[in-house]
Structure formats: structure tokens, C-alpha cells
Structure 1
Amino acid sequence: MHERMLTVPDEAERKNLAGFIGHALRLDESAVIRMRRRGPDHVSVWAATGFDALATRTIVGTVNPDDTSAAGDTLLAALSHASGELIDPGFSMDSAWRGALPPAEGFEHLDDVPAHVLIELAQRGNALAQEHGSSSGPPVSLLDQEVLEVSGPSITAGISMRAIFALTAMGFVDVNRINETELVRVRASRSWIRLDARFGSIYRHRGGSIPLMVAR
């Protein structure tokens, strides 16, 4: 067995992982996927979104070593050709991963926002981006704009268009697959805000760009 190995026993989970990687590659054709063991039988997979936000989804499986990165295109190809639960992630891309991952704990629940509200905000943002954007993409002023403010017992945090664009671009909320009751949970720590949707989560550092070192 290869020293580096991702094990995903369930075919549906392999399809979930392939969908996650596919969305990440549409945002960045050279996307790097980070895989980190979470407990005895789960793996959290991470990708940068291009919106100064991180996307993550947790699948049932194991990875060796416990924290490693792989090229998204290589990993997706390995998944498409896998005949069973063992997936060779290819060469290590650990040196290509930029920025720290957020802490696993320390988040306060602020509010639950209807998913359709976030989709409507994304659609309005896309319309503005097409009207005022350029060949280099949406204007920074639009991306940085905080369009929702949510509060909890001790924290108030704003949700920027960057986080909402990342959420929809990764397919974590989908206009074709939601109902009026679907919610996105908003949590925050002193340093991070996270949006937990049905198909994955978005993390954005509250200081803007993702830090090189962990900030708790």
C-alpha cells in the first residue's frame, strides 16, 4: 500500500468528494485540496475559493498521513478511476497550501439565516458584478461589502459578499435544491466567521485575508 492514501469506503461519499473538488477546480484550475483526519473515521477536505475564504466538507473515511494536501486535478482523476475505497492522492502538495486552517472549536452560534436569502443576495451581487466588473472580476468594493449583520450573546459579525459568493460557487446552497425552510447556520469566533450549509461550510477570517499562522 502506498504511504500516502485516502480511504473512502462509501461510493456516495466518493461522489460527494468528487463534487467538492470539481467546484474547487472550476474556481481555480490549479486548486490544492487539503485533507485532515477528523476523529477515527472522518476526513475534512479543504479548498481555497478565490474569495479570501475557505471551503470545507467532511466525509466518512481516513487519510494517511493525518494532514496532507494534493493537487485537485490529480485527486479528482484518481477518484474517477478508483475501483474501490482506496484512492492514491498522488504527490504531496503540502508546500503549495497557503494560509492557516481555522480552529475546530471556539465558535459561537449567532443566527440561522434562510438559504434562499443568501441565494438572492448572491444573485443581486452577480448582477452588480456584471454591470460594474471588469476582465479581472467583480470590483473589490462589492466583494468586501458586508450585506448582513448577525449577532449572538457576545459577538456581532458581518457577512461579506466574498463569503456568500464562496458559498454559492461551491454549491453548498443551490437554488435548484433548496426549500423555504432550509437554513444556513452562522457562527463566529473572535477571528473567524463560518457559514454552515447542507453541503459544506465556508470560513472567512474576520480580518480579511487568510492568515499564515493560526489566529484563535
Structure 2
Amino acid sequence: MTKLQVPDVGERESLGTFVARLVRLDAQAVVRLRARGDGIVDAWAKTPFDVLATRSVVGEVDPRDLTVSGNELLAALSVAGGELMNPGRPQDLMWRSELPGGAGFRFVEELPVHVVTDVTDRGLAVARENLGPKGTPPTSLLDQEVLTVSDEDTELKISLRCLFALAGMGFTGSADDRVRVSANSGWLRLDARYGAVLRQRRSLLPLVF
């Protein structure tokens, strides 16, 4: 039997909000729960924008790496109640995405949330005018790089995919908050108040002078 224990009610509500947002974006989504050695459970999900989303809570999961249905996990969190629950049947074969390692991310820059929100809203307006046959924006639009951040060593370009995922999961918080941008050799990461999104990349791009 699978087990998920999240003692704090606020943490359970936080995880429930994460899963509810995900299921709203993709009714067939699965959630991967991974225990860390410091008593933290990381919840991972692949959004429809081909971007990973993650949120962490204090707790334990058994087995320590488990993929379950988003709908079943949401029911366990919102209906069953209590700190110890059955998160759902194992569906490990449904997880087909690589996960980034936890180490090696280097901070590059912070972006004001109001800037991120403004660019996202303009992108959404264009997306609504250019929906494809399945009601989704074209890949060419999602792949548009709309923000660039840099420090003395690195330049990172952020696509609409990442911004749409950040907004769709409700991660950004208030207009006064900031989004932290970091990267390692394989991944770009955007950390906001309520969670993070990650997108695979080939390599860090050095600045050219």
C-alpha cells in the first residue's frame, strides 16, 4: 500500500492547491512524489507546456519515489483528509520525463513579478488569437524567447513556455514578489513564491563581447 504523510495542515493545503492547478491544466496528469533525506517530499509534474513544475512539502512518502494519478492524489488530499493518506495506485510507468538533480544550480538574476506578469499577459493575448486546431497555441509561439537575464558569465533566454507554466500553476504570488532565475548545465529554473518551473536546456550560454 502506498502512503503519504504530511503532518501540517497548511502544507497539505499547499500540495492540494498544486495538484488542483495541475489537474485543471491536464485532467490526465500524473504527479511524481520523491522523498529527500531531509524530511521533504518533492512533488513533480509535467505541464502541457512541456515544462516541469514542482512544489515541496514537509513529509514522508512510501515508496520513496512514487508516481500517482493527479486526480487520485487530489481526492486523497481534499476528500479523505488527515495527515496520513493513500495517495493512489502506483503509476510509475506513466512518468516519462527526466528530472533534474537538486545540486549545481547557480543563481543568475531576479525578475519583478509585475514584469513577468506583463510579458505573460501579452503572450496569452497573442496565443488566444493564434490557437491551433486542438485549441492550443502553436509550438513556434510557445518557443518564443521573450525575456533575457544575465550576469557577468551567463546569459539565459526564457521562453513563453516557462511563463505560461508559471502562471498556469499559480506560482507567482503578488506584484511585489520576485522570480528567481537560476540554471545549471542542463536546466533553466524559475523559482516563485508558490513553486518552481524547470525547462531542459543544452548548456549555459556565455556572453560574447
Query: Would you say same fold, with TM above 0.5?
Result: yes
Residue aligning to 2:191: 196
1:57/1:199 contact within 8 Å kept:
yes
Residue matched to 1:23: 21
Instruction: Provide Cα deviations, 1:44-83, integer angstroms capped at 9, x if missing partner.
Output: 0011011111000001111111111100101111112234
| TM-score scaled by length of structure 2 | 0.92
Instruction: Summarize deviations over 1:133-164 as a string: whole Å, max 9, x none.
Output: 23421121110000111113432210000000
For normalisation by structure 1, the TM-score amounts to 0.89
Deviations 1:156-200 (A, max 9, x none): 2100000000000000015xxx133x1100001111100000000
The whole-number CA distance in structure 2 between the counterparts of 1:201 and 1:70 is: 20
Distance 1:19 1:63 in 2: 18
* Deviation digits for residues 2-30 of structure 1 (CA, Å, limit 9, x no counterpart): 3x200000111111111000111111101
Instruction: Kindly report the root-mean-square deviation, in angstroms, between the aligned alpha carbons of the 2 structures.
Output: 1.2
Q: C-alpha separation between the residues in 2 aligned to 1:154 and 1:101?
A: 25
2:184 matches 1:184: no
* Cα separation, 2, equivalents of 1:69 and 1:91: 8
Residues 83, 162 of structure 1: alpha-carbon distance in 2 compared, 3 angstrom cutoff: closer
Measured in 1, the distance between the counterparts of 2:151 and 2:30 equals 34
1:166 corresponds to which residue? 165
2-structure distance, mates of 1:34, 1:83: 20
Q: Is the 8 A contact 1:109 1:152 kept in 2?
A: no
Q: Check conservation: 1:34, 1:67, Cα contact below 8 A.
A: yes
Task: Write out aligned runs for 1:67-146 (5 A).
Answer: 67-136=65-134, 137-146=136-145
Separation of aligned partners in 2, 1:105 and 1:154: 19
Unaligned runs of 5+ in 1: 208-216
Q: Which amino acid aligns with 2:151?
A: G
Q: Distance in 2 between matches of 1:80 and 1:45?
A: 16
- Cα drift, residue 107 of structure 1: 1.0
SS at 1:13 equivalent: helix
Mean Cα deviation higher: 35-44 or 196-205: 35-44
Cα distance between partner residues in 1 of 2:124 and 2:91: 33
